[in-house]
Amino acid sequence: MDAHSRGRADEIDPADQWVLNPQTGNYELRLDHSAGQSPAGTTGSSTRPPARSTAPAEAPVPGQRRRRPAGPEAPEPAPGASRGGRRVPPQSRRKRKQGAGRKKKVLLWTGGTMAFILVGGAVGAYAIYNRLNNNLDVVEVIGKNKSAGFRKGEAFNIVLIGTDKRTGAGNAGYGDKNSPGHADTTILFHVSKDRSNATAISIPRDLKTDIPECQVKDGDGIKTIPAEADVRFNVSLGQNGRDPGCVMRTVEELTGVEVDHFMMADFNAVKEMTTAVGGVKVCVEKPVDDPKSHLKLPAGESVVQGEQALAFVRTRHSFGNESDLDRIKVQQQFLGSMIRQMKSDDTLTDPGKLFDLADAATKALTVDAGIGSLTKLQDLAGELAGIDAKNIAFATLPVIDNPAEKVKATVVPHPTKAPQLFAMLESDTSLTEVKKKEEEAKSAQAKAQAALLEGERAPSAEVRVDVFNGSGIQGAAQSTINWLQNEQGVLRSTNKSNAPEKAAKTTLEYAPNQADQARALADMMGLPATALKQGTTDAAEREPMTLVLGSDFKGAGVPITGPAKAPKDLGEVAADKQVCAK
C-alpha cells in the first residue's frame, strides 16, 4: 500500500541519502538534495544502506546521479571548481559532513527506550524514509484525535499490544491459524511528565473484566460493537471485529487512566527484531526443553533470536507454575534485555543493524493515526530519549483468583492494590522513585505544608478519628471505617455519617498534640500534606481528629493521591538488570 492511499502523502519528507564517496570508498549520509541526487526511494531498491562498500568508485549507486566517465588522467576538480554544473565552495564538503555527523548522533540516541518504540528515532538517519513510512499499518481510532502529538510537560500513556494472529511466514504452524487474533500481550506504558521515568504495567490476558462499547472503521462507514461484561481481557481485540481502539477503551475502563496511543506488533516483530539486533541475552536458572514451544536452552545465559526468541516469550510450561502470570514475568525480563541490547553502542552505531531493526519493526508495527508516520514516531522517541533504562520499571497488574470460579482459570483485579497502582499512574508517581515533583520543591508553601508530615508516627491503636462522608459516594465513610479497623488496626475510628455539605477535597483536622496521629493516618490513606489542617490549641485527652472524605476519595484503601511507594508484590522488573527466569 502506498503512502497516498493511506492518506499520508503530504507528510512524506525527502528521503535520507546514502552516497558513495569515491575518495574513501565509504557510503556517506548526504542530506543536501540540491546536489543533483535523485530522491531516495525512487529506485525501487530494497537493499539496506551498507556501512562500507567494496564496489569500484565509478559504479552507479542507488540515489546518486551517474557521472560521465572521466579519462584515466582526469584530475579531481579543484576546491571551488565546477562539479556537475554547480560550484562547490572549498569548505562546503567539510561542513556538510560535520552537520550530518551531528544529526546522526542525535538520531542515534533518540531511540532505545522501549522495544517497539526505539525505531521511531533511530531510522531517520539511516533508512529510506518513504520505504519505512509505508511499512507502517495505521488504524484510525474513532473518538481519538488523529493529529494529536505529545505535549511538553504532560504525562502520556501508550498501550503496547502483542497479537497472537498467525499471519506471516511460518506462523500458521502455531495453531488456530484462522483466528483474527487476541490481545495476547498487553502493556500500559506510562511516561512521566518530566520524562525522567516510565512505568510498564502488564495486563494479564486471562483477566476477567468488562469490555465497553466501541466503534471501528467499517469500509467508508463506522460500525458499533456492543459491550460485553465479565469476559477475558484478551477478547478486547479481534473478536467480533474489535480493533486496537477497542483495547484502548477497555484499558481506560479498567484503569481509569486515559490512553493516548497504541502500538501493536505480531509474532514477526519478535522474530525479526531480535534477529536484526543480533539476538537478545536471556537467562534461565535451569535447563529448558519444552516440547510445546520447542524452546531448548541450557541453564545460565543464552542469546536467542528468531523462532527461538518467539518460543521464549510464548512458553507457559517452562517457568514458575506454568501460568500466564509467570509468562508475563519472562516477557518483562526479555523486554528489559532487549532495551539494553538496543541501547548498546554496537546496535545504535551499526548502520546495517539499525536499518534491519527499523525495517523489521515498521513492517510488524500497527499504530494509531496520532503516531501514524515515521516523523511522528521520531517525535515520540524524542520524548523518550532521556529516560535511563534503570528508570523504566516493569510491573504486573495486581490480581487475585476469580472468586466466582471453582476451578481457578481466570483472575480479577486485586480490590485494593490494583486501584493503588492506577492512582500512582494518574498522579504521575514513579515506581522507581527517581524524582519528587518539582513544583513541591519550588513552592515555599508546599515546603511548609510538607513539614507537617515530618516527625513521629503514633501506633495505629492510638489513632482516634471521626469520619464524615463528603465525597458523594454512598457508604464511603463506613467502608473507610471497615478498612481502617480491619486492615490498619485503627480501632478507635467512628462513622459520623454525612458531612454538612459535599467536600471538594479530603481533609484531616487535628490539634497540635495529635500531630503524631495525623501523620500515621496520612501514611495509611495516602493523604497529601495539603489535606492536613492543624489547629492552634491542643485537644482533650480522648478527643478524636476529624476526617472529611471529599470528591477526590476513590475508595477505601486507595490513596487520595499517588502513594510515595508502590504496593507490595507487583513483581517489578527494572529494564537495566538481567534477571534469570525460574
* 3-class SS letters over 276-340: HCCCEEEEECCCEEECCCCEEECCEEEEECHHHHHHHHHCCCCCCCCCHHHHHHHHHHHHHHHHH
If pLDDT is split at 50, 70 and 90, which confidence band does 344 have? low
Work out whether strand 464-469 and strand 198-203 pair parallel, antiparallel, or are unpaired: unpaired
Percentage of the chain beyond pLDDT 70 is 66
Q: Averaged over 344-356, what is the pLDDT?
A: 64
Residue ending a domain, choose from 364, 398, 432: 432
pLDDT at position 209 over 80:
yes
Looking at the fold, whether 268 and 394 belong to one and the same domain comes out as yes
Looking at the fold, whether 402 and 455 belong to one and the same domain comes out as no
pLDDT at position 85 over 70:
no
Looking at the fold, whether 425 and 478 belong to one and the same domain comes out as no
Looking at the fold, whether 41 and 141 belong to one and the same domain comes out as no
Q: Is residue 60 part of a domain?
A: yes
Looking at the fold, whether 405 and 522 belong to one and the same domain comes out as no
Q: Is residue 575 part of a domain?
A: no
If pLDDT is split at 50, 70 and 90, which confidence band does 515 have? very high
pLDDT at position 183 over 50:
yes
Looking at the fold, whether 125 and 261 belong to one and the same domain comes out as yes
Looking at the fold, whether 461 and 388 belong to one and the same domain comes out as no
E runs forming strands in 311-414: 365-368, 392-396, 399-401, 411-413
**Which one has a higher pLDDT value, 395 or 71?**
395
The number of CA neighbours under 13 Å toward the Cβ of 340 is 16
Which stretch of 349-358, 402-411, 429-438, 496-505 has the lowest confidence by average pLDDT? 429-438
Backbone dihedral angles phi then psi of residue 357, each to the nearest 5 degrees: -65, -45
Looking at the fold, whether 164 and 91 belong to one and the same domain comes out as no
pLDDT of residue 562: 54
Looking at the fold, whether 155 and 14 belong to one and the same domain comes out as no
Enclosing domain of residue 156:
119-432
If pLDDT is split at 50, 70 and 90, which confidence band does 65 have? very low
State pLDDT tens for residues 137-182.
899 999 887 777 677 789 999 999 988 765 555 544 444 555 567 8
pLDDT of residue 431: 81
Q: Averaged over 453-474, what is the pLDDT?
A: 94
Looking at the fold, whether 369 and 459 belong to one and the same domain comes out as no
If pLDDT is split at 50, 70 and 90, which confidence band does 39 have? very low
Q: Is residue 307 part of a domain?
A: yes
Q: Is residue 578 part of a domain?
A: no
Looking at the fold, whether 372 and 300 belong to one and the same domain comes out as yes
Looking at the fold, whether 36 and 101 belong to one and the same domain comes out as yes
If pLDDT is split at 50, 70 and 90, which confidence band does 438 have? very low
State pLDDT tens for residues 318-327.
777 677 777 7
**How many domains does the chain divide into?**
3
Query: Where do runs of H (alpha helix) occur along 61-218?
Result: 92-108, 119-122, 129-135
Looking at residue 258, which CATH number applies to its domain?
3.40.630.190
Q: Is residue 577 part of a domain?
A: no
pLDDT of residue 309: 87
Residue ending a domain, choose from 410, 432, 454: 432
